[in-house]
Amino acid sequence: MIRDAHEANEAARPNDFELTRLRAALPGYFDKDGDFRLDRLQEALSSADVSMTREGYELKFLGKSYAKYLTSTRTETVVVPDVEHNAEATNAGSENLYIVGDNLDALKHLLGSYAGKVKCIYIDPPYNTGSDGFVYVDDFGFTAKDLVEKVGLDEDEAQRVIALQGKSSHSAWLTFMYPRLDLAKELLTDDGVIFVSIDDNEQANLKALCDEVFGEQGFVATVAVKNNPRGRQSNTSIAPVHDYILIYSKAAATAGIGGKRLTQAQRDEYKFEDENGNYRLLGLRQRGVASLREDRPDMFFPIYVNPESEEISLAEQAGWHEVLPRKSDGRDGRWMWGKVKCLAETDRLVAKFVARRGEYDISVKDYLNRDGLIERTKKSFTIWDDKGFNQQVGTQEVKELLAGDIASYPKPTPLLEEVVQLGAGPQDIVMDFFSGSGTTAEAVMRANAFDDGSRKFIMVQIPDVIDSGDAAYAAGYRTIDEIGRARITKAAIKVKNETGAAIDTGFKLFRLQEPSVKTLDEMQSFDPNEETLLLDDFVSKFAFDGTPGAQVALATWLVEDGFGLTAEVTCVELDEYELQVCDDTGYVIEPGLSSADAMALVAKLEAGELDLKRLVIFGYSVSFSVMHELKQNLRSLRSGQTVTVIERY
Ligand SMILES: C[S@@+](CC[C@H](N)C(=O)[O-])C[C@H]1O[C@@H](n2cnc3c(N)ncnc32)[C@H](O)[C@@H]1O
């Protein structure tokens, strides 16, 4: 587990993460030795007529190679489930996640199960204003010599990268953001979208960084959010009234972006009703540009109206009135629909006699709900100006929920509701890895209450310690995540009481922890090939915060192996040992697996009572001889099945 990660990190290189992506995307361009076939790629590109650029334009900052290196290393933390919290009735069945820890570690854990599965990510990172407390902190403990060896920096650059620690320069901020955005991209679905809040301090750098990480073709929009209508008076000349949200995706052309929810006034425009629901009437005659007959001659044709019943037909009928698309100045106009659409959707056409003009007008029924179900939306603009987006709203909301001014700059829930509405469909996963007071989680619950959805949230928050002089400290909070979790719990009750909707109001709670140096040393000195050195109960060294070590190892591996953090695990009785099974994988974590248990496992597999593809074993818990026996027997089962044995340390 940790020893494996530690050993992998010893060999990690800055471009490993990028190379892994390249291998996955273009396996055909690597030969059997793992070497990249540049000649083959060049040939494919030239025969496909793809133009290549050697513009040499790129974002440079001190720490960039190091930032890439941090993307490539494995986390040396474990995932500790809060057993007591997760067993509470509200949380036991919940699919929402709250992870307490550094988001760089959290993203690395989550990649195992959630890569390509998160539809919408919102983040509100430190803006690096100079007064928001941002300083670059990393506790990986590298020396300049390490960076020379591992990252390939020269001595002078390595010294300057080490000196970024504790700084709030642009380079420090970019070094902090780069690996996080790079990993976040991997979590997005192919049509997924990331929204990043920022202000003028780092907006330009963030734009350049996102252009590099997501590609310029991933840029969707920069939105200006009017969050301070009175203007920031601290600015001497022009008072800013807005900050920004940068929106990116893997490819803007295929990004799944929904529309803006209608306001009540807009909804009220749909004042007519028939068996298909509420609708408004829109004139069938095209208005504005390209609205003349000559613009679309095929859209100039007569429509016939029965003067008795006001029935509509496109075929001429004796005694029916002929209606043509005429403009008010008498010129020939054109309809908004062609003949084929008018014929197919005659039911939606309505005729109304206008006495003043002595003629009929033709209108179209425009329904509020598409397909009778989903309420229509409006396209969003790049300026978001809504009273609900004022930063005061966010402050007030948290004040009311938690009875005090205890969160710094929480975003307003209406703003996050807008983001969730645009970025996530009713069944999607929404993630915020700078979750602060948890506004995104509240927005997800509100969106679910509004449309009966089952969106799930993943929140990540570092357990930053609250200063003893802060109001939050006086209110009893010691770390920021405590505020976030309290807010989510209170907001859930509020949303439920206000709406009565049957939403998921709980969340599963996990903390990321680093094993002690002593444990690491013991792990390093363990030799799996020496029977005598088997440490009796090594697994208990991973016990944290009252959670048994076996549950910590299991949670860490379930997410690494692709089963997520809310997976169902069953126990299968062997001889005397209980094997834990998730889907096609068995886990041997606790010590005590005997030769008789190994035989019982083989018997169950051969009898078809158990169907496994992998057996994951905590190497410290199984003796050398039993491990050997398992490997031998599982390699050649009589049933023809193969079960791969994976030892982890
Ligand atoms: C600007 S606040 C987010 C506020 C949030 N949008 C809200 O509405 O309350 C940024 C948050 O990110 C957290 N943070 C900073 N660095 C982090 C890291 N490395 N991992 C996880 N959280 C981090 C900070 O503690 C802070 O709570």
Q: How far is the CA of 197 from the centre of ligand 1 (A)?
A: 12
**From ligand 1's centre to the CA of 148, what distance in Å?**
32
For a mutational test of ligand 1's pocket, the pick from 98, 434, 510, i.e. the residue with the most ligand atoms closer than 8 A to its C-beta, is 434
On whether residue 519 sits in a domain, the answer given is no
Q: What is the mean pLDDT of residues 409-413?
A: 96
Residue of the CA atom closest to atom 4 of ligand 1: 436
Q: What is the DSSP string of 71-128?
A: HHSPP--EEEE-HHHHHSHHHHT---EEEES-HHHHHHHHHHHHTTTEEEEEE-----
Nearest residue (CA) to ligand 1, atom 3: 436
pLDDT of residue 47: 80
CA distance linking residue 161 with residue 156, whole number of Å: 9
pLDDT at 534 over 60: no
> Which residue's CA lies nearest to atom 5 of ligand 1?
436
Does 517 fall in a domain? no
140 alpha carbon to ligand 1 midpoint, in Å? 20
- Testing ligand 1's pocket by substitution, the residue of 99, 444, 461, 485 carrying the most ligand atoms inside 8 A of its CB is 461
476 pLDDT higher than 80: yes
Tell me how far apart the alpha carbons of residues 164 and 100 are, in angstroms, rounded to a whole number: 25
Q: Is residue 523 part of a domain?
A: no
User: Is the CA virtual torsion 492, 494, 495, 496 positive or negative?
Assistant: positive
How many beta carbons lie within 10 A of that of residue 387, not counting itself? 11
Residues 234 and 320 in one domain: no
CA of 416 to the centre of ligand 1 (A): 15
| Cα of 241 from ligand 1 centre, angstroms | 22
Instruction: State how far the Cα of 298 lies from the Cα of 290, in Å rounded to an integer.
Output: 13
Task: Please indicate, yes or no, whether residues 556 and 601 belong to a single structural domain of this protein.
Answer: yes
- pLDDT beyond 80 at 570: yes
In a domain, 90, yes or no: yes
Residue 525 domain-assigned (yes or no): no
The two beta strands, 242-249 and 188-198, are antiparallel
| 300 and 365 fall within a common domain | yes
Q: How many domains would you assign to the chain?
A: 4
31 and 62 share a domain?
A: no
Domain presence at residue 391: yes
**436 alpha carbon – ligand 1 mean position (Å):** 4
Q: Which run of H or E residues covers position 628?
A: helix 624-635
Establish if 141 belongs to a structural domain: yes
Q: Are residues 545 and 482 both part of a single domain?
A: no
Q: What is the mean pLDDT of residues 123-142?
A: 92
Same domain, 243 and 303: no
> Do residues 483 and 432 share a domain?
yes
Domain presence at residue 244: yes
**Mutational test site, ligand 1, from 444, 462, 481, max ligand atoms within 8 Å of CB:** 462
Mean pLDDT for the chain overall: 94
Atom of ligand 1 at shortest distance to CA of 197?
A: 6
CA distances from 520 to 12, 77, 324, 524 (A): 19, 11, 84, 6
Can you tell me which atom of ligand 1 is nearest the CA of 435? Answer: 5
- In this structure, the residues whose C-beta lies within 6 A of any atom of ligand 1 are 102-103, 124, 126, 407, 409-411, 434, 436-437, 439, 460-462, 464, 480
Q: In the predicted model, is pLDDT for residue 616 greater than 90?
A: yes
Final residue before a domain boundary, out of 480, 511, 542 = 511
One domain, residues 570 and 493: no
Segment 170-187 mean pLDDT: 98
Report the separation in Å between the CA atom of 583 and the middle of ligand 1, taken as the mean of its atom positions: 35
Domain boundary at 313, 343, 375, which?
375
Q: How far is the CA of 593 from the centre of ligand 1 (A)?
A: 44
Query: Does 498 lie in the same domain as 364?
Result: no
Cα 121 to averaged position of ligand 1 atoms, centre (Å): 14
pLDDT, tens digit (0-9, with 9 covering 90-100), for 231-283? 998 877 999 999 999 999 999 999 999 999 999 999 999 999 999 999 999 99
Task: Please give the Cα distance from 63 to 69 (Å, whole number).
Answer: 10
Identify whether residues 149 and 245 lie together within a single domain: yes
Q: What is the pLDDT of residues 382-392, one digit of tens each?
A: 999 999 999 99
pLDDT at 531 over 70: no
579-593 pLDDT, tens digit each: 999 999 999 999 999
Q: Once rounded to an integer, what is the mean pLDDT over residues 356-368?
A: 93
> The domain containing residue 323 runs over which residues?
264-375
Please identify, among 57, 84, 105, the residue that sits at the C-terminal boundary of a domain: 57
Among 179, 249, 174, 180, residue whose Cα is nearest residue 205: 174
Closest-CA residue, ligand 1 atom 7, reads 410
Which of 123, 435, 481 most suits a substitution to test ligand 1, by most atoms within 8 Å of the C-beta?
435
Q: How far is the CA of 481 from the centre of ligand 1 (A)?
A: 9
What ligand 1 atom has the least distance to the C-alpha of 437? 9
Angle between helices 170-187 and 64-72 (to 10 degrees): 30
Distance 101 CA to ligand 1 centre (A): 11
| Residue 134 shares a structural domain with residue 271 | no
- Distance from the CA of 408 to the center of ligand 1, in angstroms? 10
Instruction: Verify that 302 and 214 share a domain, yes or no.
Output: no
CB 411 within 8 A of CB 227: no
